Amino acid sequence: MISGVAYGATEIERLADLPPLPVLRAHLLGVISAPASRLAGVMAGSVRQLATVVKAYSEKSPAAA
């Protein structure tokens, strides 16, 4: 019995097979933070591309402009 509820052998085995709580928390944090990390990567890539274009334009010779 756990918290007044009787569980069978199957349920107890399923509970025993669960990963430890810190591992479950780490998985949850990974799932939550993945979209933010991807968004940050996309934004950084866009800024990097823009900086490359601006640099190339600034290095362009005045006669070609």
pLDDT in tens, 16-60: 899 999 999 999 998 888 888 888 888 888 888 888 888 888 888
If one counts the domains in the chain, the total is 1
Q: How confident is the model at residue 63 (pLDDT cuts 50, 70, 90)?
A: low
Specify if 48 maps to a domain: yes
pLDDT score for 2: 78
Burial of 24 (C-beta count, 10 Å sphere; 0-12/13-18/19+): exposed
- Answer yes or no: is pLDDT of 9 > 70: yes
- Return the pLDDT at 20: 93
Q: Is residue 47 part of a domain?
A: yes
pTM of the model: 0.45
Q: Which helix (H) or strand (E) holds 15?
A: helix 9-16
Full domain range(s) for residue 35: 20-59
Please tell me the predicted confidence (pLDDT) of residue 62.
66
Whether 14 is in a domain gets the answer no
